[in-house]
Amino acid sequence: MKKMGKTAIALLVAMLVMGWCAPCLAESEIKEVFQDGLYGGLTGVLVGAAMLAFTHKPGTHLDYMAYGGAAGVMAGVTYGVVKSSRALAEVENGKVRFALPTIIPDIKEPNSRGETAVIVMTELVRGRF
């Protein structure tokens, strides 16, 4: 019974947090990333369910759908973040916009010792002055 109470409280807190919205100019980018994650999760669940057809006892492998959904959410969110090419904060015409920053990987040529450097960059502030 205690587990049911904890679940109900967690569900109530999640509904309150999701229902509370603060006005933000970066709403469209966050919405887009959320949608990409949602669609990726749904696609992953479908792929996991399709994989059940290739198992001996499908009823004992229902975790395939959970793993597929989790992988789909991660892939969808990654796609959404990469697709939105924004800095963390942008200043344009005196207005500040916040968004999810784009992560840009870069691979440098090997040095004399044969070591290859992998650099990960992101823009924190972008502006026109």
Indicate the pTM of the whole model: 0.50
Instruction: Please spell the DSSP secondary structure of 30-44, one letter per residue.
Output: HHHHHHHHHHHHHHH
pLDDT surpassing 70 at residue 18: no
- Write the Ramachandran bin of 55: left for phi over 0, alpha for psi from -120 to 50, otherwise beta: beta
pLDDT surpassing 60 at residue 25: no
How much is the mean pLDDT over the chain? 77
- CA–CA gap between residue 119 and residue 67 (Å, rounded): 30
pLDDT surpassing 90 at residue 72: yes
- Contact by Cβ (8 Å): 61, 52: yes
pLDDT surpassing 80 at residue 47: yes
Look up tokens 């949608």; give the residue: 35
The letter for the amino acid at 61 is H
Locate all alpha helices (DSSP H) within 20-129, ordered by sequence.
27-51, 63-83
Average pLDDT over residues 62-88: 83
- CA–CA gap between residue 129 and residue 92 (Å, rounded): 8
Give the number of other Cβ atoms within 10 Å of residue 41's Cβ.
20
